[in-house]
Amino acid sequence: MIASENYISAAVLEAQGSVLTNKYAEGYPGARYYGGCEHVDTVEELAVSRAEDLFGAEHANVQPHSGTQANMGVYFAMLDPGDRILSLDLNHGGHLSHGHHVNFSGQLYEVEQYGVDPESGYVDYEALADHAAAFEPDLIVSGSSAYPREFDYGRIEEVAESVGAYHLADIAHVTGLVAAGVHANPIGNADFVTGSTHKTIRAGRGGMILTTEEHAEAIDKSIFPGGQGGPLMHNIAGKAVGFEEALEPEFRAYAEDVVANTRALAQVFTDRGMALVSGGTDKHLLLVDLRDSHPETTGQDAEERLESVGITVNKNTVPGESRSPFVTSGIRVGTPALTTRGFGESEMETIGHRIADLLDSPDDEELTAEVSAEVDELCETHPIYE
């Protein structure tokens, strides 16, 4: 139940594990620095055109090795060291590569951060606008790794335009939900859209950048030769196959099920007296704030308690966090991987109640054994690969 993980199809797995891993192909289709690129050109052209179709983008670059390298590609293309970035605070659901001080992005650029309203748990757009007017950023990042609500990309674009900043929408977590049309698409409201390709979208592992014709050349140069060497052609093949699967109508049904499953889980947690950041979820993850319901239980305790029965989640900081990121006061719980395995809302209700039982009774060994057996049975009846 790690929100950023999923199970790729057998076809994506086959493409990613193929002989394409052996090929060097610096450059882009039709303009490589090595011979023998006829077939990898076909593969990359397929991945690019499918990404452009899926998201309605004018230009796609599918070579970034990860979402963070996609963000780096945009920063290096459009900013100079010392330029200003305004992004969501990590403790409010942001991401390291959006300017955290331990990351290159926080070391190269001057970064200030916006946050969520402490009462509602939603991004405080008024405060963001005031902050942007005072700080005058060169680039504003919308996007998150632990924010359970949709971003209002139009609102952030208005702010970016008002201060003359570029707008980068990092959709890493919600790439599949955006592709399926069950989450807002920032194309048209952001100059750059970045993402990883293996989370909700279930394609080959890595990253991508979507942009307009205007910025296409700068982005391509920033990725190669600017920031990366040889592209990982096996992963690009996996992206091409996964994007094709995401273009099929069944993928929309999958994405709808992911959201329905998260909402079912949210309802159980709420009924069991657990607080959720923002009171619920619009997407594939939710963030449980344990401070009121389980004041003695840290996020780390909860992660370990659930791990002991075979339920894998991650501890996560929450807005207003006072504990360290190694301890935290919350857990992030996601449904993309379980939904791929065929878990539905009734299984989510069972799992939600069992999670609550385990947190309510941290030392009950009989309960541990009982839930452990239930987890085994659920996994056996929902195999990952036939």
Which residue ranges make up the site for ligand DSN (CB under 6 A)?
Answer: 4, 67, 145
Strand partners, 275: 289
* Backbone region of residue 202 per phi and psi (left: phi > 0; alpha: psi in -120 to 50; beta: other values): left
Instruction: Give the residue with the Cβ less far from ligand DSN, 145 or 335.
Output: 145
Question: Cβ-closest residue to ligand DSN?
Answer: 4
In the complex, the smallest distance separating the C-beta of residue 54 from ligand DSN, rounded to whole angstroms, is 21
Q: Token pair for residue 107? A: 């070391």
CB of 67 or CB of 231, closer to ligand DSN: 67
| Minimum CB–partner distance for residue 151 and ligand DSN (Å) | 15
Task: Specify the residue, 4 or 200, whose C-beta has the smaller distance to ligand DSN.
Answer: 4
**Considering beta carbons, is residue 88 or 132 the nearer one to ligand DSN?**
88
Residue 43 Cβ, how far from ligand DSN at the closest point, in Å? 25
**Long-range contacts for 265-272 (Cβ within 8 Å, ≥24 apart)?**
265/333, 265/335, 265/348, 265/349, 265/351, 265/352, 267/349, 267/352, 268/348, 268/349, 268/352, 268/353, 268/356, 269/352, 269/355, 269/356, 272/352, 272/353, 272/356, 272/360
Using the minimum distance from each CB to ligand DSN, give the nearer residue, 313 or 359: 313
Q: Provide φ and ψ at 189, rounded to 5°.
A: -115, -5
R_g over Cα of the chain: 21
